[in-house]
Amino acid sequence: MPAEIRKARASDVDDLAAIEKAVFSCDRISRRSFRQLIERETASMLVAESDGRIAGYAVVLFRKGSGVARLYSIAVGPFF
């Protein structure tokens, strides 16, 4: 089934942290940081959801007052 792209929600944090732990061995984003990124005005956090499961995510950070954006993190769970 194709993945649906949507904005991350607070209820996604546990799944996001599980992907982070499975994919990265260091410099992981914490649950607290995921929660903050989801609420942050200068960040956009998108998830790919397939069959009701989070398959991956992307975090883009924006610099206020400019057109500058940076892909901060991207990951796909190893089970997809």
Token pair for 51:
């069959």
Domain count, the chain: 1
Sign of the Cα torsion 22, 9, 29, 49 reads positive
Show the domain range for 8: 4-76
Q: Residue 60 sits in a domain of what CATH number?
A: 3.40.630.30
One digit per residue, pLDDT tens: the chain, 80 residues?
Answer: 688 999 999 999 999 999 999 999 999 999 999 999 999 999 999 999 999 999 999 999 999 888 899 999 999 999 88
Asked if residues 80 and 30 have their Cβ atoms less than 8 Å apart, the reply is no
- pLDDT value of residue 43: 97
Q: In 10 A of CB 34, how many CB atoms?
A: 23
